[in-house]
Amino acid sequence: MITVTPAAAAQIKLSADQGKAEGMALRIAATRNEDNSIHYGMGFDDNKEDDVTITTEDIEIILSASSAELLKDTTIDFVELEPEKFQFIFLNPNDPNYVPPVE
């Protein structure tokens, strides 16, 4: 369903440690914008009754059912976009703005 790269997993674990959120799951939210693109959000949260839960790279991820549908087959990575500027990116084939990476 969702893949987290080792670089993203390391940063998520570091963020959990720095934010005193050890033991909490990572909630990923996705909503469809008016132009059909997808808006993403991430944060540490408690599991709710109707959540979908997955574990990848030793990271527990929780999603609402609607977010799970929008995030199907997504890869989350943590990359350097500019010198010394790192950020999470979502490689999501369900987003009309998605461009597959060149290998």
Q: pLDDT (tens digit, 9 = 90+) per residue, 25-71?
A: 999 999 999 999 999 999 999 888 899 999 999 999 999 999 999 99
Q: What domain range is 16 assigned to?
A: 2-91
Is residue 102 one of the residues assigned to a domain? no
Q: pTM of this prediction?
A: 0.88
Is residue 75 one of the residues assigned to a domain? yes
Is residue 103 one of the residues assigned to a domain? no
Is residue 100 one of the residues assigned to a domain? no
Q: CATH no. for residue 64? A: 2.60.300.12
Is residue 62 one of the residues assigned to a domain? yes
Mean model confidence pLDDT for the chain = 92
Is residue 36 one of the residues assigned to a domain? yes
**Residue 70, helix vs strand vs coil:** helix
Hunting for tokens 């609607």 — which residue is that? 66
**Residue 66, helix vs strand vs coil:** helix
Cβ(76)–Cβ(41) under 8 Å? Answer: no
User: How many structural domains does the chain have?
Assistant: 1
Sign of the alpha-carbon dihedral angle for 82, 86, 90, 95? negative
